[in-house]
Amino acid sequence: MKYAIVESGGKQYKAVEGETIEVDRLPGELGDEITLEQVLMLVDGESVNVGKPTLSGLVVSTTLVDHFRGDKVLAFRYSPKKRIRVHRGHRQYYTRLMVEHIGMPDEAAKAEKKAAKAAPKPKVEKADDLAKIEGIGPKAAKVLVEAGITTFAKLAESAVEDLHTILSDAGLKMMKPETWAEQAKLAADGDWKALEKLQAKLVGGRKAAPAKKK
């Protein structure tokens, strides 16, 4: 197990890689990188290095993850002869730090570059042209994309009630998405001929009403 004893604000803390420490309030915003340079001791397995008073060159690299206040501490002062009764409460400000790396400063940078190279690149999902669905115009397509429905496959899995809600919230209450999922399923499967036949039976994305018998 590798850990270090660091000093911050005149107090000592045990810092373990991958864990958090809570120190007195430090300046900074969430996500800021904060380096603690006062490393008093380093323990790595059976190896123990003690500073005199600090270990030169070693740092603890952390990330600021939270600012918070501790539990209220009550203080009561009473002097019967002077008739003094003072009741006070105090909540200390703290900062929570995530310990990212313990060692030389350049080691942390090398570790980050190595991790970035080893990490698989996220697969970018290609958006489909939703306007190919009968009844979806540019405005409706934009609303769907903003709601996270970017492909034919996602549209095919969407419930009609959910589509109604998305459109209604965007002020498109008059649109009828009842056939959109059915059309999107054919488009997602690449069955364009079947989609063309289905769309020939639609009017504005709706199934045409049967002709009345005279």
Domains detected in the chain:
2-105 (no CATH), 130-201 (1.10.150)
> In this model, does residue 76 exceed pLDDT 80?
yes
Buried b (16+ CB within 10 A) or exposed e, 36-71: bebbbbbbeeeeeeebeeebeebbbbbbbeeeeeee
Instruction: Quickly state the pLDDT bin for 109 (edges 50, 70, 90).
Output: low
> In this model, does residue 214 exceed pLDDT 60?
no
Query: What SS3 class is residue 135?
Result: coil
CA dist 176 and 164 (Å) reads 8
Whole-prediction pTM? 0.48
Residue 30: Cβ-neighbour burial (10 angstroms; 0-12, 13-18, 19+): exposed
**Nearest alpha-carbon partner for 205 in 131, 135, 133:** 135
Name the percent of the chain lying above pLDDT 90: 59
Confidence at residue 21, expressed as pLDDT on a 0 to 100 scale: 95
Q: Can you spell out the DSSP letters for 42-85?
A: EEETTEEEE-SSS-TT-EEEEEEEEEEE---EEEEEEETTTTEE
